[in-house]
């Protein structure tokens, strides 16, 4: 089975290469219009915006609270505050203990999750639509009345510390963290780990979580998304009853630091992982924000470059050279510009050669071998046809609406998905490749067995800097 997971926020797509015969493509059915369901926008009496999608049929409903503050709202000295606050929401409220919350949800057959990303925090409820009312009562309690009790914080803290300990010698984790910190620096929230650091996690007191919650979890700084087997008119009464008395106006807008400066020249950062059978490689620099007007040309360009199994990068490093089981690239698109990353785990003995091939592909799509008309048409067809498979569940639809809310996209954004993809031309792709890929300013992070990879890397025309992380052992 081919395990190819498209990178980050970018949707999967496809591309063409020489060895694939496209003279007899399979005949697909007529082009689908992506029937993204209509989004109705309402509001509760306290101002909380509500986005409703009616999906009759399966008797389920998803409710997602989107709070406009994630880890980027943390003080730089408190990494992990947003995700720890989210973790603690269902660990007890002023009305229910943690076991009571779990117990009541289970009695209803419902489930509830919480979490935080860089840009947002969220609480999501999945339930039978016929049990929405009692399930929403628990959801509202968790959102508005978390207790942040010290004993529960201790347990969650210990669990988080154990998880960080388990991660700290995983090459994939080391590579991702080092890469993020090299692109953004630790003064920028995108350069710090979402889950926090052991020192910060150890230091948190309940007051810090309570302050984060009070500051940002409020109807004036949040939105509610409801997707499923509900009627918009009827569900508003239920929502109003559960959350209408929640109070709080707009929060101070989260201020993001200025974008980091690019590297003056491409550099290699090497982390030694003795005995490693593979090297984890990350190559890239700053990309663009999610609401950037070049989103769709970048989507198509990256599909061809490294966004799908049959991308240039994957077919080169995997199919042609056999260095890796999968190589890919993508733009992580957030409120502010996230990273562009090309990445793979490669065989140790092919580390140097893999960097060379990555750099070749990143250069050639800019000049020398720009995307062809055929590649562009293929990527567009794939993007349009795969879209309905990514909207099968209520949760998937709710996540898309979260993007609309967080990134200020128009409410009919997905209705125009097909035409936005189809409008991309080969000239657009060539332009964004030249504009947004800058191979002489990359950070290249390699986590691998130094004794076997350093000499090869030093033959490349980039300075090599040995990096010691406290966790790299």
Report the distance separating Cα 442 and Cα 98, nearest Å.
47
Number of residues counted as binding its own copies (CB under 8 A): 90
The answer to whether 470 contacts its own copies (rule: CB under 8 A) is no
DSSP string covering 64-125: EEEES--GGGS-TT-TTHHHHHHHHTTSBBSS-BHHHHHHHHHHHT-EEEEEE-SS-EEEEE
Q: Provide the minimum distance between the beta carbon of 158 and its own copies in the complex, in angstroms, as a whole number.
A: 7
Choosing from 5, 23, 77, 99, the residue that interacts with its own copies (CB under 8 A) is 99
Subset of residues 166 to 195 that bind its own copies, contact rule: CB under 8 A: 166
Choosing from 38, 45, 94, 158, the residue that interacts with its own copies (CB under 8 A) is 158
Choosing from 232, 381, 411, 460, the residue that interacts with its own copies (CB under 8 A) is 381
Subset of residues 407 to 436 that bind its own copies, contact rule: CB under 8 A: none
The answer to whether 202 contacts its own copies (rule: CB under 8 A) is no
The answer to whether 9 contacts its own copies (rule: CB under 8 A) is no
Tell me the three state secondary structure of residue 193.
Answer: coil
Choosing from 54, 74, 90, 178, the residue that interacts with its own copies (CB under 8 A) is 90
The answer to whether 393 contacts its own copies (rule: CB under 8 A) is yes
Choosing from 7, 8, 14, 219, the residue that interacts with its own copies (CB under 8 A) is 14
In this chain, which stretch among 90-98, 191-199, 254-262, 283-291 interacts with its own copies, using CB under 8 A?
A: 90-98
In this chain, which stretch among 74-82, 94-102, 248-256, 363-371 interacts with its own copies, using CB under 8 A?
A: 94-102
The answer to whether 350 contacts its own copies (rule: CB under 8 A) is no
Which CB atom, from 20 or from 356, has the smaller least distance to its own copies? 20
The answer to whether 279 contacts its own copies (rule: CB under 8 A) is no
Q: Provide the minimum distance between the beta carbon of 418 and its own copies in the complex, in angstroms, as a whole number.
A: 12
DSSP lists the bridge partners of residue 223 as 66
The answer to whether 212 contacts its own copies (rule: CB under 8 A) is no
What separation, in Å, do the N-terminal and C-terminal C-alpha atoms of the chain show? Answer: 32
Of 344, 327, 222, 346, nearest to 278 by C-alpha is 346
The answer to whether 127 contacts its own copies (rule: CB under 8 A) is yes
CB under 8 Å to 324, separation ≥6 — which residues?
A: 317, 318, 344, 345, 346, 347, 350, 354
Subset of residues 30 to 89 that bind its own copies, contact rule: CB under 8 A: 30, 32, 35, 57-60, 86-87, 89
The answer to whether 472 contacts its own copies (rule: CB under 8 A) is no
The answer to whether 382 contacts its own copies (rule: CB under 8 A) is yes
Q: Provide the minimum distance between the beta carbon of 101 and its own copies in the complex, in angstroms, as a whole number.
A: 8
Report the distance separating Cα 294 and Cα 462, nearest Å.
30
The answer to whether 149 contacts its own copies (rule: CB under 8 A) is no
The backbone torsions φ and ψ at residue 145, rounded to the nearest 5 degrees and listed phi first, read -125, 35
Which CB atom, from 219 or from 345, has the smaller least distance to its own copies? 345
The answer to whether 26 contacts its own copies (rule: CB under 8 A) is yes
Strands (E), 142-194: none
Q: Is 54 within 8 Å of 231 (Cβ atoms)?
A: yes
Q: Provide the minimum distance between the beta carbon of 415 and its own copies in the complex, in angstroms, as a whole number.
A: 16
Which CB atom, from 14 or from 93, has the smaller least distance to its own copies? 14
The answer to whether 319 contacts its own copies (rule: CB under 8 A) is yes
The answer to whether 302 contacts its own copies (rule: CB under 8 A) is no
The answer to whether 378 contacts its own copies (rule: CB under 8 A) is yes
Q: Is 297 within 8 Å of 428 (Cβ atoms)?
A: yes
- Which of 162-165's residues contact partners 24+ apart within 8 Å by CB, and which partners? 163/195, 164/195, 164/196, 164/197, 164/198, 164/201, 165/198
Going by DSSP bridges, is the β-strand pair 121-128/111-116 parallel, antiparallel, or unpaired?
antiparallel
In this chain, which stretch among 237-245, 252-260, 305-313, 423-431 interacts with its own copies, using CB under 8 A?
A: 305-313
Q: Provide the minimum distance between the beta carbon of 135 and its own copies in the complex, in angstroms, as a whole number.
A: 8
Tell me the three state secondary structure of residue 283.
Answer: strand
Of 287, 309, 266, 231, nearest to 14 by C-alpha is 309
Tell me the three state secondary structure of residue 277.
Answer: coil
The answer to whether 150 contacts its own copies (rule: CB under 8 A) is no
Rg of the chain's alpha carbons, rounded to an integer?
23
The answer to whether 207 contacts its own copies (rule: CB under 8 A) is no
Residue corresponding to tokens 């000295």: 77
Q: Provide the minimum distance between the beta carbon of 5 and its own copies in the complex, in angstroms, as a whole number.
A: 11
- The DSSP element (H or E) to which 227 belongs, if any, is strand 222-228
């Amino acid at each position: 089975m081919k395990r190819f997971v498209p990178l980050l926020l970018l949707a999967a797509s496809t591309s063409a290469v020489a060895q694939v015969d496209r003279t007899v493509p399979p005949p697909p059915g007529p082009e689908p219009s992506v029937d993204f369901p209509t989004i109705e926008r309402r509001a509760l009496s306290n101002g909380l915006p509500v986005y409703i999608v009616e999906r009759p049929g399966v008797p389920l409903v998803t409710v997602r609270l989107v709070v406009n503050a994630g880890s980027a709202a943390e003080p730089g000295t408190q990494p992990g505050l947003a995700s720890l606050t989210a973790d603690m929401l269902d660990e007890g409220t002023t009305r229910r203990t943690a076991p009571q919350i779990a117990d009541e949800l289970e009695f209803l057959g419902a489930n509830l999750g919480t979490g935080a990303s860089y840009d947002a925090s969220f609480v999501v409820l999945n339930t039978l639509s016929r049990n929405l009312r009692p399930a929403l009562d628990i959801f509202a309690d968790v959102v508005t009345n978390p207790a942040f009790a010290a004993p529960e914080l201790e347990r969650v803290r210990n669990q988080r510390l154990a998880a960080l300990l388990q991660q700290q010698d995983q090459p994939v984790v080391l590579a991702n963290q080092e890469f993020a910190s090299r692109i953004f620096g630790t003064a920028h929230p995108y350069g710090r780990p979402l889950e926090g650091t052991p020192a910060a996690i150890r230091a948190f007191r309940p007051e810090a979580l309570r302050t984060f919650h009070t500051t940002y979890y409020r109807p004036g700084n949040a939105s509610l998304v409801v997707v499923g087997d509900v009627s918009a008119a009827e569900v508003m009464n239920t929502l109003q009853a559960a959350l209408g008395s929640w109070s709080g106006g707009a929060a101070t807008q989260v201020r993001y630091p200025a974008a980091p400066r690019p590297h003056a020249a491409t550099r290699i950062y090497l982390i030694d992982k003795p005995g490693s059978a593979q090297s984890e490689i990350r190559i890239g620099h700053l990309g663009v924000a999610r609401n950037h007007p070049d989103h769709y040309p970048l989507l198509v360009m990256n599909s061809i470059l490294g966004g799908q199994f049959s991308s240039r990068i994957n077919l080169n490093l995997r199919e042609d050279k056999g260095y890796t089981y999968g190589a890919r690239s993508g733009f992580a698109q957030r409120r502010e510009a996230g990273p562009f990353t090309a990445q793979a785990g490669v065989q140790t003995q092919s580390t140097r050669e893999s960097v060379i091939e990555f750099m070749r592909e990143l250069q050639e799509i800019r000049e020398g071998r720009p995307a062809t008309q055929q590649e562009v048409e293929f990527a567009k067809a794939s993007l349009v046809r795969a879209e309905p498979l990514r909207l099968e569940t209520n949760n998937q639809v709710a996540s898309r609406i979260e993007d609309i809310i967080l990134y200020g996209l128009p409410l009919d954004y997905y209705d125009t998905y097909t035409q936005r993809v189809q409008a991309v031309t080969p000239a657009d792709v060539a332009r964004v490749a030249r504009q947004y890929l800058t191979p002489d300013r990359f950070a290249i992070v390699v986590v691998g067995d130094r004794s076997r990879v350093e000499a090869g890397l030093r033959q490349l025309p980039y300075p090599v800097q040995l990096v010691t992380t406290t966790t790299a052992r």
